[in-house]
C-alpha cells in the first residue's frame, strides 16, 4: 500500500513539473500584431529584394514601433555569409565563434611568405635558409605573386591555404606588401591561435599593429637622419631621392622622405626628388631597370659626381649601383641595407641568375664578397664612396622572427607581449653584430607615421660600413 502511494505521489510530481515546463514554453510563444506596409530596403543606395533561404520573397514588418528586417537578406546584401545553427538556436553572420585548436609544439609549423627573387632575393633566401635548417615539415615557404598590387585575391587564397593547416602556429610575411592586411583579415576570420609577424609592412601602421603580434622593420625614420649624415661624410653635396607614387603613399617611406629633406637642408646638401618607373607597372622590372641605367648618368652629369643617390625599390638597386659606380657618384646605402643587396650582380661578381648563396653560406659569402666588392670599387676609384650595413637586414629579421616564433610556440616567451631581450638575442645570434632596436612611437618624428605608441612594432638599425 505504501509503495502504491509513493508511486502515485511521484507521478503527480512528474505531471506537475511537465505542466510547469509547458506553461513556460507557452509563455515564450505569443501572438503579435505586425504591420506590413511595403517597406523597402536600400543598401548603398541600391534597393534589394529580400528573399529567404529557399529564394521566396520576404517582407520587412513593424511591431510596436520597431522595424524587423530579414536577417539573411540584409546580411548577404552587406557581403556577409549567414548560417542557422538549429541545435544551438543561433544565427551566425560572417565568421563563426572561434574554436581554439590545441597547440602541440611537436607538430607545430611556421609559414613564411616572401616575394620572389626578382623583387628581393634576400627575403626569398632567408625563408629558404629556415627550410634548410628545420626541414619542410616545420617550415612552409610560400611566395607572393610578382604583381601583388593587382593580385589581392590570389594573396588571400595563399593565406587561406596556410590557415587551413591546423598545425601552422606562426605566420611570417616578408615583405608585408600591399594587400597583405586584407589577406590576414581572412585568416583572422577562422584562426586566432597563430602568431603573426609582419616584416617591412607598407600599409597604415596602426592598422597593421592591430592585426599582427610582432612587426619588424628597418628604422626608416632614423634613416632619414643617418643617410644625409653618411652622405655628407662621403663628400656629397647633393642628395637625389628616387621613387614612384605607389611607394610614396607608404607611411614609413613618406615620413622618411620628409626627414631627408629637412636634414639635407640642415647639412647644406641640395635635395632633389626624381620619379622613376614602378617595376610592378606596365613596363615591368626589366623596363624599369633599363630606365635607371639611362637616367642615372644624366643625373650625375647634371648635378656632379659628388651626388648621393638613394632609391626606395629593391629591384632597382642593381642598375642604380652599377650606374653610380660607373659614373662616379656616391651610394650611401641600398633601400634594404646589406652587403649582398644589389652589389654582387651590379659589380659583375656574379652572372644574372646566379646568387652569392650558391657559392657559400652567408658568413663565408659576407667575408668573400665584401672583399671582392672592395676590390672592384678600388678598380673604379670608388673607395670611400659606397657604404651599407654589415649584415642583410631583411634576412636577419626573417631568421630572428622565426626563432622567436618557435619560442612563442614552446611557451618560452609571453603570449601577449614582446620579450625585447629575447628578440634582440635572436637578432644578434644571426647577425653576429649588435642590432639597435626601439619601438615605434618613441620619438617626436614618429608622429608622422603613427600618432600613438605601438609597443609591438620593433624598429631595427645597424652601423654603416664604408667600402
Q: Residues of CATH 3.40.50.11390 domain(s) within the chain?
A: 228-390
Looking at residue 10, its pLDDT comes to 36
Looking at residue 9, its pLDDT comes to 36
Segment 391-448, tens digit of pLDDT: 888 999 999 999 999 999 999 999 999 999 999 999 999 888 889 999 999 998 898 8
Looking at residue 119, its pLDDT comes to 78
| Location of C-alpha cell 644578434 | 428
Cβ count within 10 A of residue 91 = 12
Question: By percentage, how much of the chain surpasses pLDDT 70?
Answer: 89
Looking at residue 24, its pLDDT comes to 41
Looking at residue 15, its pLDDT comes to 36
E-strand stretches of 184-278: 195-199, 214-218, 238-243, 270-275
Class of the CATH-defined domain 228-390: alpha beta
Tell me which of 18-22, 29-33, 299-303, 406-410 is least confident. Answer: 18-22
> Which segment, 16-30, 67-81, 138-152, 308-322, is predicted with the most confidence on average?
308-322
Higher confidence at residue 311 or residue 90? 311
Looking at residue 96, its pLDDT comes to 63
Q: For the residues 186-215, what does the mean pLDDT come to?
A: 94
Looking at residue 26, its pLDDT comes to 46
Class of the CATH-defined domain 116-219+394-466: alpha beta
Segment 264-268 long-range contacts (CB within 8 Å, at least 24 positions apart): 264/228, 264/239, 267/228, 267/229, 267/232, 268/237
Looking at residue 401, its pLDDT comes to 98
Looking at residue 169, its pLDDT comes to 97
Q: Is 79 left (phi over 0), alpha (psi -120 to 50) or beta?
A: left
Q: Could you tell me if 132 and 104 are in contact, meaning their C-beta atoms sit under 8 angstroms apart? A: no
Q: Is the pLDDT of residue 365 over 50?
A: yes
Encode 38-65: b = buried (16+ Cβ within 10 Å), e = exposed: eeebeeeeeebebeeeeeeeeebbeeee
Residue 181 CA to residue 143 CA, distance in Å, equals 16
Q: For the residues 186-209, what does the mean pLDDT come to?
A: 94
Looking at residue 361, its pLDDT comes to 64
Segment 104-149, tens digit of pLDDT: 889 999 999 999 887 778 899 899 999 999 999 999 999 999 888 8
Q: What is the pTM of this model?
A: 0.72
**272 bridge partner residues:** 240
Segment 216-268, tens digit of pLDDT: 999 999 999 999 999 999 999 999 999 999 999 988 899 999 999 999 999 99
Higher confidence at residue 116 or residue 332? 332
Looking at residue 412, its pLDDT comes to 96
Query: pLDDT averaged over the chain?
Result: 87
End-to-end CA distance of the chain: 109
Amino acid at each position: 500500500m505504501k509503495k502504491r502511494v509513493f508511486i502515485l505521489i511521484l507521478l503527480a510530481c512528474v505531471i506537475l513539473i511537465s505542466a510547469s515546463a509547458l506553461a513556460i514554453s507557452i509563455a515564450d510563444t505569443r501572438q503579435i500584431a505586425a504591420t506590413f506596409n511595403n517597406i523597402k530596403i536600400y543598401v548603398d543606395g541600391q534597393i534589394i529584394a529580400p528573399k529567404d533561404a529557399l529564394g521566396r520573397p520576404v517582407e520587412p514588418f513593424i511591431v510596436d514601433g520597431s522595424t524587423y528586417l530579414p536577417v539573411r537578406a540584409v546580411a548577404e546584401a552587406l557581403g556577409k555569409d549567414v548560417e542557422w545553427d538549429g541545435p544551438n538556436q543561433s544565427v551566425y553572420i560572417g565568421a563563426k565563434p572561434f574554436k581554439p585548436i590545441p597547440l602541440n609544439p611537436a607538430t607545430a609549423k611556421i609559414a613564411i611568405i616572401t616575394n620572389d627573387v626578382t623583387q628581393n632575393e634576400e627575403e626569398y633566401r632567408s625563408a629558404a635558409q629556415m627550410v634548410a635548417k628545420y626541414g619542410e615539415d616545420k617550415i612552409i615557404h610560400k611566395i607572393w605573386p610578382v604583381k601583388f598590387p593587382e593580385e589581392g585575391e590570389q594573396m588571400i587564397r595563399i593565406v587561406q591555404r596556410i590557415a587551413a593547416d591546423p598545425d601552422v602556429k606562426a605566420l611570417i610575411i616578408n615583405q608585408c606588401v600591399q594587400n597583405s592586411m586584407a589577406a590576414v583579415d581572412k585568416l583572422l576570420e577562422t584562426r586566432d591561435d597563430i602568431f603573426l609577424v609582419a616584416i617591412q609592412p607598407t600599409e597604415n601602421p596602426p592598422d597593421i599593429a592591430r592585426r599582427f603580434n610582432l612587426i619588424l622593420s628597418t628604422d626608416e625614420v632614423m634613416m632619414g637622419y643617418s643617410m644625409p649624415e653618411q652622405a655628407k661624410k662621403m663628400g656629397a653635396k647633393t642628395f637625389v631621392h628616387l621613387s614612384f607614387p605607389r611607394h610614396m603613399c607608404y607611411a614609413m617611406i613618406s615620413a622618411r622622405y620628409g626627414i631627408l629633406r629637412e636634414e639635407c637642408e640642415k647639412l647644406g646638401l641640395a635635395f632633389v626628388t626624381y620619379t622613376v618607373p614602378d617595376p610592378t607597372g606596365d613596363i615591368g622590372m626589366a623596363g624599369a631597370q633599363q630606365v635607371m641605367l639611362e637616367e642615372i648618368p644624366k643625373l650625375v652629369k647634371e648635378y656632379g659626381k659628388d651626388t648621393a643617390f638613394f632609391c626606395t625599390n629593391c629591384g632597382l638597386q642593381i642598375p642604380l649601383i652599377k650606374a653610380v659606380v660607373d659614373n662616379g657618384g656616391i651610394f650611401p646605402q641600398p633601400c634594404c641595407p646589406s652587403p649582398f643587396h644589389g652589389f654582387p650582380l651590379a659589380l659583375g661578381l656574379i652572372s644574372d641568375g646566379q646568387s652569392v648563396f650558391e657559392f657559400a653560406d652567408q658568413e663565408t659569402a659576407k667575408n668573400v664578397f665584401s672583399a671582392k666588392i672592395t676590390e672592384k670599387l678600388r678598380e673604379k676609384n670608388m673607395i670611400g664612396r659606397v657604404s651599407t650595413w654589415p649584415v642583410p637586414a631583411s634576412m636577419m629579421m626573417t631568421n630572428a622572427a622565426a626563432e622567436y616564433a618557435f619560442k612563442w610556440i614552446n611557451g618560452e616567451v609571453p603570449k601577449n607581449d614582446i620579450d625585447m631581450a629575447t628578440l634582440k638575442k635572436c637578432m644578434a645570434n644571426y647577425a653576429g653584430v649588435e642590432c639597435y632596436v626601439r619601438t615605434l612611437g618613441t620619438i617626436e618624428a614618429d608622429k608622422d607615421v603613427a600618432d600613438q605608441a605601438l609597443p609591438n612594432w620593433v624598429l631595427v638599425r645597424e652601423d654603416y660600413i664604408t667600402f
